[in-house]
C-alpha cells in the first residue's frame, strides 16, 4: 500500500457527499488499509455532527422588522437624495457666482490695463514729438498776413502729402510716434533790412562773414543736428583779403 | 417600482400562507416581478430564503441576533439592487454571495474591535489569526439528548474558531449541502480552492473534536 495511493483515496473520500456511495476502488482500499478506514469513519462522523447543526429558523417578527427596515431605508434614501439635490444646486449656484465674479474681475483688469497702455502711449507721443520751432515775431506777423490773404494755404501735415508714396511695412508695435513736420515752403522768408540792423547794437553778420563758409545746422526732428556748410563766395576786391579762414572748422563762425 | 412608502402593503402574511410546493414560480421570475413593483413577489422570495440565510450567517458569526440583522440587511440589498440584478447566476448564488460578504465583513469588524473571549484564546499553528475555542466537557452525561446538544454546541464553537476563508466553504458544503461548483461561484473562487479549503477545515475540526469522534 503506497502512501500516494492512500492520499488519493482519502481525497476521494473527502470529496464525496455525505451518504454518497464510494467507488469500488475506494471500498477495496478501505478493506485493506486500516488507517484509511479509520480516516473514513472519523470523517463521516465529523460530517454527520456538522450536518446535524441543521437550519436555524428566523424569528417570527423577521418580516415586520424587514418591512420597517425597508421603509427606514427608503426614507433615508430619499433624504440622501434630497440632500444631494440641494448640494448639487448649491454647488451650481456657487460655481455660477464664481464664474460671474471672475468674468467681472477679468473685464475690469483688461479695461484698466488697456487704458494705462493708451495713457502711456500718449505720454510717450508727447515726449517724443519735437516742439514746433518758435517763430520770431516777424515771421509770425508775416505768416498771419499770408494766411489772411490766402486762407487755403495753411499748415498742411506732410503726412497727407505722403499718402501716395506710403510704404507698406510689416505689422510692428509702434514704438515711436510719427513726427509731424510742416511745409513752410509757401511762407516768405523774413526780410532783414539795414534799418533793422541799425536798431541793434551789433551787426547781424560779422564783418568778415564773407570770408567764412555759411553753415546751417538743422534738426531732423529726432534730435539729431545736421550741419550744411556752403562755401564762401567772394567777388572782386574781396579776393585780395586773406582767404585763410574760408573754411572754418565746424561750429566756429 | 413602487416607492417604499407602500412597503406596509407588502403581502408577507399572504405569501407565508401559500404552500411553497405549489409555487412554481422561479426565483428569477420573482425578482423580475419585484423589479416591476410586485411586492408580493419579493415577500415570496423573503419567505423562501430567510431561514437559510439567517442560519448560514448564524453559523458564520455564531451570533443569532447579529445573524438576523445581517440577514435582513441581505434582503434590503437584494431589494435595492433588484434593478441591477443579472440572471447570469442562480438567485441562490446571488443572495448567498451577499450574505457571505456581509458575514465576512462583520467578522473582520469584530476582529478589529477585538471582540474575542479571553477564555480559551489561543493562536493557531496554521496562521496568526486569533481563535476562540472552548474545550469539550469530558464529564459523563446521562441523557443522549444532552450529549447531542453538547456536541452540536462544541462543533459550532469549533467552527467559530476556523479562519473565515475555511469557515464559509465548510458551512456551505457540510451544513447547507451545496455543490463545489455552487460554492465556488458564491465565494468567487475556483473549485480546486474550495475543495482544498474544505479539506483543511475538516482537518482543523478533526483535531478539535477528537473527544466527540
Same domain, B90 and B144: no
- How far apart are alpha carbons B126 and A188 in whole angstroms? 122
Give the torsion through C-alpha atoms of B155, B158, B159, B160, to 10 deg.
130
Q: Which of B13, B55, B60 to mutate to test the interface with A (most CBs of A within 10 A)?
A: B55
The parent domain of residue B97 ranges over 11-115
Q: Are B195 and B131 in contact (CB under 8 A)?
A: no
**Are residues A63 and B16, on separate chains, in Cβ contact within 8 Å?**
yes
Question: pLDDT class for A224, splitting at 50, 70, 90?
Answer: confident
- Distance set, CA A216 to CA A226, A228, A238 (Å): 8, 5, 23
Of A126, A147, A162, which one is at a domain's C-terminal end?
Answer: A126
Which positions of chain B have pLDDT values less than 50? 1-24, 119-120, 123-130
* pLDDT at site B89: 79
Same domain, B98 and B151: no
* pLDDT at site B83: 83
Query: What is the C-alpha radius of gyration for chain A, rounded to an integer number of angstroms?
Result: 58
* pLDDT at site A114: 79
Domain assignment of residue B132, yes or no: yes
CATH number for position B207 = 1.10.10.10
pLDDT digits (tens, 9 = 90+) for A193-206: 656 555 555 555 55
**Are residues B205 and A53, on separate chains, in Cβ contact within 8 Å?**
no
Q: Does B46 touch chain A (CB under 8 A)?
A: yes
Number of domains present in the structure of chain B? 2
3-class secondary-structure state, position A26:
helix
**Are residues B213 and A70, on separate chains, in Cβ contact within 8 Å?**
no
- How far apart are alpha carbons B160 and B24 in whole angstroms? 37
Domain assignment of residue B191, yes or no: yes
Number of domains present in the structure of chain A? 2
- Distance set, CA B48 to CA A205, B25, B43, B57, B78 (Å): 132, 12, 9, 16, 14
pTM of the model: 0.54
CATH number for position B107 = 1.10.1740.10
Of B82, B115, B148, which one is at a domain's C-terminal end?
Answer: B115
Range scoring the smallest mean pLDDT among A132-136, A228-232, B40-44, B193-197: A132-136
C-alpha cell at A1: 500500500
Q: Which residue's entry shows cell 474681475?
A: A105
Q: Are B72 and A65 in contact (CB under 8 A)?
A: yes
Q: Does B43 touch chain A (CB under 8 A)?
A: yes
Q: Other CB atoms closer than 10 Å to residue A4's CB: what's the count?
A: 7
**Are residues A42 and B199, on separate chains, in Cβ contact within 8 Å?**
no
Of A100, A126, A152, which one is at a domain's C-terminal end?
Answer: A126
* pLDDT at site B198: 93
Q: Does A57 touch chain B (CB under 8 A)?
A: yes
Q: Name every chain B residue with its beta carbon within 8 A of the beta carbon of A64.
A: 12
**CA-based nearest residue in chain B for residue A44:** B213
- Which residues, in sequence order, are CB contacts of A62 under 8 Å at separation 6+? B46, B50, B54, B68, B71, B72
- How far apart are alpha carbons B201 and B60 in whole angstroms? 13
Task: Give the number of residues written for chain A.
Answer: 253
- How far apart are alpha carbons B113 and B106 in whole angstroms? 10
- Choose among B4, B47, B159: nearest Cβ to A73: B4
Q: Are B54 and B95 in contact (CB under 8 A)?
A: no
CA B83 and chain centroid, separation: 24
**How many Å lie between the alpha carbon of B187 and the closest alpha carbon of chain A?**
18
C-alpha cell at B109: 469588524
Same domain, A120 and A79: yes
Give me the residues paired with residue A228 across strands. A216
Same domain, B126 and B86: no
Domain assignment of residue B2, yes or no: no
Q: Which of B4, B63, B73 to mutate to test the interface with A (most CBs of A within 10 A)?
A: B4
Q: Other CB atoms closer than 10 Å to residue B97's CB: what's the count?
A: 16
Question: pLDDT class for A9, splitting at 50, 70, 90?
Answer: confident
- How far apart are alpha carbons B31 and B41 in whole angstroms? 7
Domain assignment of residue B5, yes or no: no
Same domain, B150 and B111: no
* pLDDT at site A178: 61
Mean model confidence pLDDT for chain A: 72
* pLDDT at site B74: 95
The parent domain of residue A120 ranges over 73-126
Same domain, B101 and B138: no
Q: Name every chain B residue with its beta carbon within 8 A of the beta carbon of A11.
A: 199
- pLDDT exceeds cutoff 60 at A158: no
ipTM (interface pTM): 0.71
**Are residues B170 and A71, on separate chains, in Cβ contact within 8 Å?**
no
Amino acid at each position: 500500500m503506497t502512501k500516494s495511493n492512500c492520499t488519493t483515496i482519502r481525497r476521494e473520500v473527502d470529496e464525496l457527499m455525505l451518504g454518497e456511495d464510494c467507488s469500488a476502488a475506494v471500498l477495496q482500499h478501505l478493506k485493506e488499509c486500516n488507517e484509511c478506514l479509520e480516516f473514513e469513519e472519523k470523517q463521516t462522523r465529523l460530517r454527520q455532527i456538522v450536518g446535524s447543526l441543521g437550519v436555524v429558523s428566523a424569528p417570527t417578527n423577521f418580516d415586520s422588522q424587514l418591512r420597517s427596515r425597508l421603509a427606514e431605508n427608503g426614507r433615508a434614501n430619499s433624504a440622501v437624495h434630497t440632500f444631494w439635490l440641494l448640494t448639487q444646486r448649491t454647488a451650481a449656484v456657487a460655481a455660477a457666482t464664481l464664474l460671474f465674479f471672475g468674468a467681472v474681475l477679468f473685464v475690469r483688469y483688461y479695461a484698466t490695463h488697456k487704458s494705462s497702455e493708451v495713457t502711456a502711449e500718449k505720454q510717450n507721443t508727447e515726449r517724443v514729438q519735437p516742439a514746433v520751432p518758435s517763430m520770431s515775431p516777424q515771421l509770425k506777423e508775416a505768416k498771419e498776413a499770408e494766411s489772411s490773404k490766402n486762407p487755403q494755404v495753411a499748415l498742411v501735415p506732410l503726412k497727407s502729402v505722403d499718402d501716395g508714396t506710403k510704404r507698406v511695412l510689416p505689422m510692428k508695435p509702434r514704438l515711436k510716434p510719427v513726427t509731424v513736420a510742416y511745409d513752410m515752403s509757401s511762407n516768405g522768408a523774413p526780410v532783414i533790412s539795414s534799418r533793422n540792423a541799425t536798431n541793434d547794437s551789433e551787426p547781424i553778420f560779422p564783418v568778415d562773414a564773407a570770408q567764412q563758409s555759411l553753415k546751417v545746422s538743422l534738426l531732423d526732428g529726432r534730435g539729431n543736428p545736421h550741419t550744411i556748410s556752403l562755401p564762401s563766395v567772394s567777388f572782386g576786391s574781396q579776393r585780395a583779403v586773406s582767404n585763410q579762414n574760408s573754411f572754418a572748422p565746424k561750429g566756429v563762425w | 417600482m413602487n416607492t417604499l412608502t407602500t412597503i406596509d402593503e407588502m403581502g408577507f402574511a399572504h405569501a407565508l400562507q401559500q404552500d411553497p410546493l405549489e409555487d412554481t414560480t422561479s426565483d428569477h421570475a420573482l425578482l423580475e416581478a419585484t423589479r416591476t413593483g410586485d411586492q408580493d413577489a419579493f415577500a415570496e422570495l423573503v419567505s423562501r430564503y430567510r431561514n437559510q440565510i439567517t442560519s448560514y450567517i448564524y453559523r458564520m458569526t455564531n451570533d443569532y441576533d447579529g445573524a438576523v440583522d445581517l440577514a435582513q440587511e441581505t434582503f434590503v440589498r437584494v431589494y435595492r439592487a433588484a434593478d441591477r440584478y443579472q440572471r447570469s447566476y442562480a438567485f441562490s448564488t446571488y443572495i448567498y454571495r451577499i450574505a457571505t460578504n456581509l458575514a465576512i465583513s462583520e467578522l473582520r469588524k469584530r476582529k478589529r474591535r477585538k471582540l474575542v473571549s479571553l477564555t480559551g484564546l489561543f493562536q493557531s499553528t496554521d496562521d496568526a489569526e486569533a481563535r476562540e475555542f472552548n474545550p469539550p466537557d469530558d464529564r459523563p452525561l446521562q441523557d443522549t439528548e444532552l450529549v447531542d446538544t453538547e456536541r452540536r454546541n462544541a462543533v459550532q464553537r469549533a467552527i467559530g474558531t476556523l479562519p473565515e476563508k475555511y469557515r464559509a466553504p465548510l458551512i456551505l458544503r457540510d451544513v447547507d449541502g451545496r455543490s463545489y461548483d455552487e460554492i465556488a461561484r458564491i465565494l468567487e473562487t475556483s473549485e480546486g480552492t474550495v475543495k482544498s479549503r474544505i479539506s483543511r477545515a475538516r482537518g482543523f475540526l478533526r483535531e478539535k473534536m477528537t473527544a466527540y469522534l
